[in-house]
Structure 1
Amino acid sequence: MSDNSPELELRRKKLLFRGGHRGTKENDILVGRFMDAHLATLSEEQLERFEILMNDVPDADFFKWATGKAAAPAKYDTDVLHMIQELSNA
């Protein structure tokens, strides 16, 4: 699947909505900054890792991991989380 396939574009649109509606304003801001900077250029594998963060991780845990207040478990400690962390510390 190419990085610009219709399937990937649909996934990006779903993530754009989901990421902007995390449940807390702080997470909406963090994820929004990340999506503005990177969503259009994420590979299929990175999209999968981002989907896992958006769908499986509770807001409180996500915020702690994204801001570096707590270490993420290995399953979630990915390049995508590191990209979010870089923007949260900027």
Structure 2
Amino acid sequence: METEVMDVDEAELRKLRWRCRRGMRELDQLLERWLEQRWRQSPTAQREVFLRLLDSEDDRLWRWFLGQEAPGDVKIAALVEQIRSLPH
């Protein structure tokens, strides 16, 4: 049973890693860093915010991460700040 859960988690992570791949290496690194460092221990609600973040357009994501624009959604804005502050 535990092996099945691990297999599902790893399959989900592989899909998410693919979704984190954007047209810009810097975005890839930011998104993948959060995925690797925070996804497993994050509550479902925060995972859902991350999935919504992944639905955003690359140019908008880049402006958010550069601090040139703020997301209209406070939960996404908080996650963007958390991602920006992760150690490299």
Tell whether the structures are fold-level matches, with TM greater than 0.5. Answer: yes
Residue 59 of structure 2 corresponds to which residue in structure 1? 60
TM superposition outliers: structure 1 runs of 4+ over 6 Å: 4-9
- Structure 2 residue runs of 5 or longer lacking an equivalent are none
CA distance in structure 2 between the partners assigned to 1:46 and 1:6 by the alignment: 22
When the two structures are aligned, how many residues end up with a matched partner?
84
Which entry has the higher C-alpha Rg, 1 or 2? 2
Alignment of 1:1-90 (within 5 A): 11-19=12-20, 21-55=21-55, 57-74=56-73, 77-87=76-86
CA-based RMSD? 2.7
Compute the TM-score of the two structures, normalised by the length of structure 2: 0.71
What amino acid does structure 1 have at the position aligned with 2:65? A
State percent identity of aligned pairs.
24
Compute the TM-score of the two structures, normalised by the length of structure 1: 0.70
What amino acid does structure 1 have at the position aligned with 2:25? K
